Amino acid sequence: MAISRFLIGGVASALLLTGGVFLWKGYSQVAEEDVLPDPPPALPAIPVADANAPKHGPAPPALPAAKEASREERRFNRFDRDRNDKISRIELMSSRTAAFRKLDGDGNNLLTFEEWAAVTGQRFAGADGDKSGELTRAEFATTAPKLAVKGKCSC
């Protein structure tokens, strides 16, 4: 019994020593392979002006002043998704969730063709003065929502 314990202890010690040697060799090989790569090539020198070069060049051309878009132009551009200066029916209806709720007469979050056609067809046809199927900027300006009159503050 004592001899078997002695043999088991000896075998366990040999295994631990062998494992330690393998780990040590593995770490030493990694350290040998971890050599820093060559540094990147130096950047080219910044060019320096010749002694005879003029001190100042011509002034840069002035940028054209940006025209501030009117309220109607900003509103039109918000709907003109493809930037062709015309609003199609699809463009008009694509971002109108509040309008969808108004069109949904029965409030079931489903818009039937009858609900949609009754309101949008009349409104679009009324705004499309030349009957081209698209709204120009001038025609779109007629669809501006009426501003609500604000009452006096009842503070």
Q: Decide if pLDDT at 36 tops 70.
A: no
Per-residue pLDDT of 38-87, as tens digits, reads 777 777 777 777 777 777 777 777 777 777 878 888 888 888 888 888 88
The most confident of the ranges 13-22, 44-53, 78-87, 106-115 is: 78-87
Q: pTM of this prediction?
A: 0.26
Taking a C-beta distance cutoff of 8 angstroms, is the pair 101, 119 a contact?
Answer: no
Give CA–CA dist 14/10, Å, rounded: 6
Please name which of 126, 121, 130, 131 lies closest in space to residue 143, comparing C-alpha atoms. Answer: 126
Helix ranges (DSSP H) in the chain: 2-33, 71-79, 89-94, 97-103, 113-116, 122-127, 137-141
What was the pLDDT predicted at 27? 62
Per-residue pLDDT of 127-142, as tens digits, reads 888 888 888 888 888 8
Q: Who contacts 94 (Cβ-Cβ below 8 Å, separation ≥6)?
A: 81
- Core vs surface per residue 12-51: b (16+ CB within 10 A) or e: eeeeeeeeeeeeeeeeeeeeeeeeeeeeeeeeeeeeeeee
